[in-house]
Homo-oligomer: A and B are copies of this chain.
Amino acid sequence: MNDTTFAVLGTGGIGRRALEVSEDKDDLTPVAACDRHGVAVDHGGLDVDELLAATEGNIASDGGATVDDGGASSGVKQAGEERGVAASVQAEPTETPIDDVIAESGAIDAVLIALPNLEHDFIPRVAERFAAADYEGVLVDVLKRSRVIGMLDDREETLQGSGITFVCGAGATPGFLTGAAALAAQSFVEVHEVDIWWGVGLKSGYEDNRGTVREDIAHLDGYDIETARGMTDAEIEDLVDEHDGVLEFHDMEHADDVLLERAGVCDAEDVTVGGVLDLRNDQKPTTTTVTVTGETFDGEVATNTFELGDETSMEANVNGPALGYLKAAVRHNRAGDYGVFGPAELMPGF
């Protein structure tokens, strides 16, 4: 593949680590990054080390990811005189960070939308803004909630008209593990069940993983996105303490289900997602495993299994796949293949 330029919207945990991982990829050049207060653009390639150093404490209560709501900034640590990206010598303060990136998007092959835990229609609306500017390129998000996919589908014609190849749900799960399930399904002519079970260990705790933890809490029984958003940091710390730092999730609303259904692998209801989050140990509390059970053309029922090594961090399993899907999408986009794709649709067909 030729060299690919990309931008990151949001410089919380995911955005920052995507920039970091891209330094290990010869063919990926980060050229723009923004958060709610600043934007850095260098079409020759950002100085990632400088940007990361300047934004080191950039883990807001919302994942450091909110860029345009002008809301509470209590969780944003400051570095230098400016907060967040604006602290970088490469950046300018701005009130309109996304518009500023869109203004440069003619020279940007792909945009990673690293904005978790916002309103359901936030990412679809961001996509619309790129389409309104006739952006021709790739948009990738790492959303988790099933219901967002339909909102993107509703906008497919707009995205196609602009020349956008949108990959939704391209993190760890959905994303990496969705793709693994789609691949594992290749042995079968009928898939009975897909079970995704993840383990994440974050010894760094809530303090350094605010966005992720808050979004996961919204999946606990008795909570939803609204209640999780409304919790104070102290309330979240209390909740974590009550569970001795270990939160277990079952039947999560994760878009793996609809993403596998739209790829024709199985019905959404045959997909279950759950996992265990340990906020007091870096070691994973359980091994991340995808099992796919199905029937072969010759009538056997079997289970294929994909396991991630326990030493692979959540960050490694989000950002590698996000950039991997981004690269696959750029290939599609350059060939003129536009629209909304799930990770499983970038795999062999089922």
Q: Chain A: residues with CB nearer than 8 A to chain B? A: 1, 17, 20-21, 24-25, 27, 176, 179-180, 183-184, 186-190, 264, 296-298, 300-313, 315-317, 319-321, 323-328, 330-332, 335-337, 343, 346-350
State the CA gap A21–B326 with chains docked (Å).
32
17 pairs of residues in contact across A and B, judged by CB atoms under 8 Å: A24-B189, A25-B189, A27-B264, A176-B186, A179-B348, A186-B324, A188-B312, A296-B313, A297-B320, A300-B316, A302-B311, A302-B312, A304-B309, A321-B348, A324-B349, A330-B349, A337-B337
A328 to chain B, nearest CB (A): 5
State the CA gap A255–B31 with chains docked (Å).
36
State the CA gap A300–B320 with chains docked (Å).
14
Select A324's contact among B20, B332, B348, beta carbons within 8 Å: B348
- Copies of the polypeptide in the assembly: 2
A348 touching B348 by the CB < 8 A rule? no
State the CA gap A98–B198 with chains docked (Å).
49
State the CA gap A337–B311 with chains docked (Å).
37
Among A319, A320, A337, max chain B CB count under 10 A is at A320
Give 5 A-B pairs besides A187-B320, A304-B308, A335-B336 with Cβ atoms closer than 8 angstroms.
A179-B183, A186-B321, A186-B324, A302-B311, A321-B348
Contacts of A303 in B (CB 8 A): 309
A316 touching B337 by the CB < 8 A rule? no
